[in-house]
């Protein structure tokens, strides 16, 4: 067993014995699989430590005194397990599912992280974390630079500095190439956002001359620069995320929608509880939202099958009609 508790550096048999006990309980004892006093004595003996029952009771009591939640099941043969852990099994299952389903975590990293999560519970419960998760349309990337990109972007945001990077795209033959012949992007990051299972960096792009967003998994050769970032004191990440559909780069407009009453929940989910609404008739309400009139926005409107209709501005309505005509 890996010496994760640092016992090789401990001096004194009592200290080593207690640390071995703690390791044994965390890795082998849970509510469904408690261990006995005999189990503990045998584990100690397998590591060259001879002791007696009274010592087990004393060491268990010491662990309890320092806050370890060791539960004792009283009987002729007392049994023990660790109660409250850093993460409960249902929480670990959710974390494993999140790692498995993530588009930006490679298969290699997924396996590595799940093994680390498994170390936070007993061996018996860890086996329950090894189960298949079926996600429609889920694909894993091969590029692990995203982890270093995220770290560089966080550092740049914290230190208010610029970064530079190159950006990749795909040819019709599915070949990865550098966009704009390998041009470097100078960028002042303001926030990292999670949209549609991908990380996006949002900030001021020198190339675009405005606030723009980039898929983090498509950024390569990212470097943290010494230059001070272009400031934007009025930038609000929550406002930006709620207005820019699908991280599609477009200007934001005030758009008025006619909606069926049953769709109020969808409007609130998308635009927030403070959105402006008023009754239109017995079956409909009108809402004015701020959003980018982009293809993802129109696609969102289409999903309601006529339950949501654009009223104004006319230019936005015409753009949607053109998109519908093109789809037809």
Distance CA 328, CA 322 (A): 10
Instruction: Extract the tokens encoding 234.
Output: 């009025």
Of 244, 238, 35, 246, nearest to 122 by C-alpha is 35
Distance CA 66, CA 231 (A): 48
Tell me the C-alpha to C-alpha distance, in Å, between residue 217 and each of 62, 141, 142. 49, 8, 10
**Phi and psi angles of residue 258, each rounded to the nearest 5 degrees, phi first:** -100, 125
Tell me the C-alpha to C-alpha distance, in Å, between residue 32 and each of 19, 79, 91. 23, 11, 17
- Predicted confidence at residue 12, as pLDDT, reads 59
With contact defined as beta carbons under 8 Å apart, do 161 and 186 qualify?
no
Distance CA 317, CA 297 (A): 12
- Predicted confidence at residue 134, as pLDDT, reads 52
Distance CA 92, CA 127 (A): 12
Distance CA 73, CA 245 (A): 55
| Number of neighbouring beta carbons within 10 Å of residue 286 | 15
Tens digits of residue pLDDT in 177-201: 999 999 999 999 999 988 777 789 9
Q: What is the dihedral of CA 113, 119, 123, 128, to 10 degrees?
A: -40
- Predicted confidence at residue 9, as pLDDT, reads 43
Distance CA 62, CA 18 (A): 9
Tell me the C-alpha to C-alpha distance, in Å, between residue 223 and each of 155, 166, 219. 11, 10, 10
Which residues of the chain, if any, have pLDDT below 50?
A: 1-2, 4-11, 137
Q: How far apart are the first and last CA of the chain?
A: 63
Of 60, 51, 63, 65, nearest to 78 by C-alpha is 60
Beta bridge partners of 278: 286
- The domain 145-233 is placed in CATH, from the list 2.30.30, 1.10.260, 2.60.120, 3.30.70, at 2.30.30
- Predicted confidence at residue 11, as pLDDT, reads 46
Tell me the C-alpha to C-alpha distance, in Å, between residue 321 and each of 122, 127, 190, 286. 58, 54, 35, 20
With contact defined as beta carbons under 8 Å apart, do 252 and 291 qualify?
yes
CATH topology of domain 239-327: Alpha-Beta Plaits (3.30.70)
- Predicted confidence at residue 191, as pLDDT, reads 93
Classify domain 7-82 by CATH number.
1.10.10.10
- Predicted confidence at residue 7, as pLDDT, reads 47
**Phi and psi angles of residue 158, each rounded to the nearest 5 degrees, phi first:** -65, -40
What residue has token string 């960028």? 187
Ranges of beta strands (E only) in 20-172 are 35-36, 70-73, 79-82, 161-170
**Rounded to two decimals, what is the model's pTM?**
0.57
- Type and span of the H or E element at 115: helix 107-118
Name the residue ranges covered by the structural domains of the chain.
Answer: 7-82, 145-233, 239-327
């Amino acid at each position: 067993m890996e010496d994760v508790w640092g016992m090789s550096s401990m001096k004194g048999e009592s200290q080593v014995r207690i640390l071995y006990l703690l390791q044994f309980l965390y890795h082998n004892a849970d509510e469904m699989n408690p261990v006995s006093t005999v189990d503990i004595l045998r584990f100690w003996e397998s590591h060259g430590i001879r002791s007696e029952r009274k010592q087990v009771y004393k060491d268990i009591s010491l662990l309890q005194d320092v806050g370890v939640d060791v539960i004792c099941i009283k009987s002729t043969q007392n049994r023990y397990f660790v109660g409250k852990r850093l993460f409960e099994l249902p929480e670990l299952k959710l974390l494993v599912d999140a790692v498995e389903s993530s588009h930006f975590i490679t298969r290699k990293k997924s396996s590595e992280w799940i093994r680390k999560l498994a170390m936070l519970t007993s061996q018996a419960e860890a086996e329950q974390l090894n189960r298949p998760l079926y996600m429609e349309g889920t694909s894993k990337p091969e590029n692990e630079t995203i982890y270093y990109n995220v770290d560089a972007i966080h550092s740049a945001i914290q230190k208010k500095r610029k970064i530079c990077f190159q950006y990749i795209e795909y040819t019709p033959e599915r070949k990865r190439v550098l966009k704009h012949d390998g041009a470097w992007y100078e960028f002042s990051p303001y926030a990292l956002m999670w949209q549609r299972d991908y990380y996006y960096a949002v900030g001021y792009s020198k190339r675009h001359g405005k606030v723009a967003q980039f898929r983090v998994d498509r950024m390569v050769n990212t470097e943290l620069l010494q230059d001070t970032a272009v400031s934007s004191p009025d930038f609000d990440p929550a406002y930006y995320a709620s207005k820019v559909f699908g991280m599609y780069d477009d200007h934001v407009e005030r758009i008025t929608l006619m909606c069926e009453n049953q769709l109020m929940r969808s409007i609130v989910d998308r635009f927030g509880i403070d959105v402006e609404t008023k009754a239109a008739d017995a079956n409909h309400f009108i809402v004015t939202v701020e959003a980018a009139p982009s293809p993802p926005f129109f696609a969102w409107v289409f999903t309601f099958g006529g339950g949501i209709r654009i009223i104004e501005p006319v230019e936005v309505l015409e753009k949607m009609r053109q998109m519908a005509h093109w789809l037809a």
